[in-house]
Amino acid sequence: MSQASPNKRPRTVSESPKDGVTQDGTPNEQPSRGLAHEPLDYPRKRAIIACEICRSRKSRCDGGKPRCKLCVELDARCVYREPGVKLDAGDKLILERLSHLEDMLQAAMTTANMNANIPRVAGQMGTSPAASTSTADDVSTRRISCSVALENNRLNGLGTWDSVNISTIPKKHTTPALNLLQWPLIRDLVSQPLDPQVLVELEMSRPPINLPHYPRPDMANTAVFASSYFDLVNVWYACVNPHAWPNHYREATSVGFIQGADSCLVLLVLALGSAAHSGSISRLPHYGEPRGVDYFASAWKIIPNLAIRNDIPAVQCYILAAAYLFYLVRPLEAWNMITIASTKLQLVLGVPDRVPTPQRELLVRLFWDTLLAESDLLAELELPHSGIVNFEDTVGLPGPFSDIEGEYTSKDELWYFLAEIALRRLLNRVSHLLYVKTPTTAPTSKLARVTAELDFQLSQWYEGLPQPIKFPMTTLSKDSPGQVCLRLRYFACRTIIFRPYVFAVLSDENAVSDPVVRENCRKCLEACLRQIDNVSAHQVGHLPYLWQGALSLVSQTLLVMGATMSPELAALLPPTISVEVIISEVVSELNRLAHLAPSLRLSAEIVREAEARRKIFFSTQRPGA
């Protein structure tokens, strides 16, 4: 995981006026000052007023000060030569070589920052056979990676970037599921356009949680539910030290489980343990109370008293409360808990020396829990950013907890947590590089290099996984919940890396004549089908990811539906009967989840209507229809 300072991170591949490849951030719209503002004696010949960027691109320069129009659009440093200075061939050669060396240095830093997270996380997780040996292929691959970054720098025409962290979720992006409803062919599958913000509106208008009143929850099964938590839940969040659990429980018992952070923590652990013990909430009867809600209701009474505390135990309780709200499929309520936790964490991280030594590892884990949960929500909903990401470069990666005697515990498994951190950073990077603006309808060689680099990083991530969590590419019944979730997120990441190519072909079928476009469309659709196939197996990861996973299903299914309607893309899909079965299973699964949240109900309706309209589309395409 890269810990480089932000000023060493590349902004991204900038957008050229010629090719329209998306870029990180929105171009500065500040108007350039026209020639009327130039000194009257400023030479007007194009060869003199053109800045270095325009000269290198052989573009007409408007001579704007302090930056010309093109440099404003590229967010580039605009440099004019001194009037009257002529460069001979030797001067030009020197400048070209200096520019080339600057590009090479920047490319090396760019590649190091973009790739450093994978080896570092692999080292934290443990060395796998794939990651433990250095081969000629490894060296070759690294050289290819460096050359990709170097070529991107040349295309930018820049040697420097403004400080920006491209491993964080961008504030504006087009990754979410409902953005696909604006795509060619896919938009014909819905009766009316939908604003992507409709999901937020639906969740905002949702009635509040109806928590039952319990004088005191039944504590008869605490041992069973605590065991379920540490066996089935802590792997996702890694935020409760199993060796500290007896102390927490003893303190909570001493006050009757009615006050204090220890009582709140114990009750939330039992709520999550009870939920995990009963399996996916989607498989429980619609009537009745969710599992663990009695413990959660008791913890909910204590949480307001923690709102005014700015310490690690309070943050820990808010993270666990958010985890249970994710189980209840309450994304906005979970976001509220995450935002409060983020605010408290930022206060604590502002004065890190005041954090007691025994709590410092917990602080790191809570930071990553907050960042991961917020990124998952921001990937699908346009919500305010909490600002926790600003501390990413100052907080290290999680390490093992120690037991009460100071010895590190072997029962505290971090492999999944570290793998999730690395993959989420890569997913955010994809959103920055490819989805900050509407995808291009004309794939270019620059886009091919960017997607190749991102796919290479995803492959590195997979190869660096240790064997206990390294998943097969096809679903197996013996896979652990962690393997299932990592596989789904792997294919989701690969899909969105290559998704711009599918958009290009849906916009213009002739684009598929390019072998690179065709192959990348095939990769996208293959990953898409791998993710949505055998959808019933996804339920093992429903406790942390039911809502996020359901919206990902919507994205991939709409993408496959659109592909079946394009002759060129349909030729890249498996036999029709296989695709039809997969789509039918997804429709059924989304219908099963629809009652859990209004946003999921709308998602199920969208996919159901899309499938009905797709069938009508094919019925009208038959000869004689």
Cα 360 from Cα 402, distance rounded (Å): 11
pLDDT of residue 244: 93
6-156: CATH homologous superfamily? Zn(2)-C6 fungal-type DNA-binding domain (4.10.240.10)
Half-sphere exposure of 351 (CA within 13 A, CB side): 9
Specify whether the CB–CB gap between 223 and 249 falls below 8 A: no
pTM of the predicted structure, to 2 decimals: 0.74
Please compute the mean of the pLDDT values over residues 123-130 and round it to a whole number. 36
What is the rounded distance in angstroms from the CA atom of residue 538 to the CA atom of residue 552? 12
- Residue range 566-572: mean pLDDT, rounded: 96
Residue 97's pLDDT band, with cuts at 50, 70 and 90, is: low
* Structure-block tokens of residue 616: 């009508």
Q: Decide: 399 and 466 in contact? Cβ < 8 Å.
A: no
Domain map of the chain by residue range? 6-156, 177-202+425-619, 208-411
DSSP classification of residue 346: H
Buried b vs exposed e over 33-57: b needs ≥16 C-beta within 10 Å? eeeeeeeeeeeeeeebbbbbbbbeb
**Rg of the Cα atoms in the chain:** 27
> Looking at this protein, which amino acid is placed at residue 550?
A
The residue type of 511 is A
Check whether 572 has a pLDDT greater than 90.
yes
Q: Check pLDDT > 70 for residue 108.
A: no
Mean pLDDT of 421-450: 82
What span, in angstroms and rounded, lies between the C-alpha atoms of 447 and 501? 9
Give the pLDDT of residue 50. Answer: 82
Per-residue exposure over 337-363, b if at least 16 CB sit within 10 Å of its own CB, e if not: bbbbbbbbbbebbeeeeeeeeebebbb
Alpha-carbon gap, residue 131 to 120, rounded angstroms: 11
Question: Which are the contacts of 304, defined by CB distance < 8 A and separation ≥ 6?
Answer: none
pLDDT at site 412: 57
The average pLDDT across 462-490 equals 88
Per-residue pLDDT, 183: 92
Asked, as a colleague might, if the bond just before 66 is cis with ω within 30 of 0, I would say: yes
Q: What's the whole-number mean pLDDT along residues 552-564? A: 96
> What is the enclosing helix (H) or strand (E) of 420?
helix 415-434
- pLDDT in the model for residue 403: 66
Q: Is the pLDDT of residue 12 over 70?
A: no
Task: Please report the pLDDT score of residue 184 as a whole number.
Answer: 93
